[in-house]
Amino acid sequence: MPSQSDSLEQELIRTVQAVIATGAISLSKHGNVSLRVPGRDELLFTAGGSLSGFDRTGIVRLALDGTLVQGELPPIAAAVVDMHTAIYQERPDTGCVIHTHSPFATAFAVANRPIECWTEAFGIFGLEDGIPVAGYGPRGSRESIDNIRAVLGPRTQAVLLANHGVLAFHQTPAETVNLGVLIEEAAQAAVYASGIGGARVVPPEMLRASRDRATAFQAAGVTRTGRRR
């Protein structure tokens, strides 16, 4: 039977593979993923510049203050550790943090423009506040981390890093991977919509209605033959 450590390492590798499989990632496959170690103030982290071809040898263990507990952390990875640990410190219920340069979301980050609630999915999945932009700071600097903390609201689940990329976080790896896809799709739709009049924000009350409706369908369970909703 695999140990908890082995199982979590396998889950980290599966999460990396899932991110790549979604296509919500840059051509370089640059990014990093972390998972919180259950019951400990520690996390597993992908110590490398690219998620392509990632395997167990690239996994390091860190304390929540960024101290290296196990493994070797190259400079390119060490520079972004603090943005992961900041999220775990601010959001104790977070189980996974994913950073990528997904193309359309990064376009908004480069433009220093938030991603607003242009799609119904933002209501269904609890993103009613949209995706804010954290002001630019040199990679790994105290300024960059302070800027991330400054835009975290009670319901924030992702942050655009100005002139850099996107940072998404949720309770589970699967939810975090899905979040990255939702963000990239909304950004892509908005870019395409800009050529035909521009994206339009869904009214807040309609976003809430979409969330309530989705919750009701989930609670009702699977529809069987002969049954109506």
Q: Where are the domains of the chain?
A: 4-216
User: Is the model's pLDDT at 115 over the cut of 60?
Assistant: yes
Alpha-carbon span 126 to 34, nearest angstrom: 22
List helix spans (H) across the chain. Answer: 4-22, 75-78, 81-90, 103-110, 120-124, 142-150, 173-193, 204-220
Report residue 88 CA to chain centroid gap.
13
pLDDT at 205 over 90: no
**SS3 category, 32:** strand
Per-residue pLDDT at 215 = 76
Q: Does domain 4-216 have CATH number 3.40.50.720?
A: no
CA distance 142 to 160: 17
Q: Which residue has the higher pLDDT, 6 or 201?
A: 201
Q: What is the pLDDT of residues 153-194, one digit of tens each?
A: 999 999 999 999 999 999 999 999 999 999 999 999 999 999
**Dist. CA 50–CA 32, nearest whole Å:** 7
d(CA 81, CA 89): 12
Gap between the Cα atoms of 123 and 203, Å rounded: 10
165-170/96-100 β-pairing:
antiparallel
**Paired sense of beta strands 96-100 and 133-134, if any:** unpaired
Q: pTM for the complete prediction?
A: 0.92
State the chain's maximal CA–CA distance in angstroms.
60
Residue predicted with more confidence, 209 or 228: 209
pLDDT digits (tens, 9 = 90+) for 21-56: 999 999 999 999 999 999 999 999 999 878 999 999
Q: Which amino acid does the sequence have at 125?
A: F
**Tens-place pLDDT, residues 78-92:** 899 999 999 999 999
| For residues 102-109, average pLDDT | 98
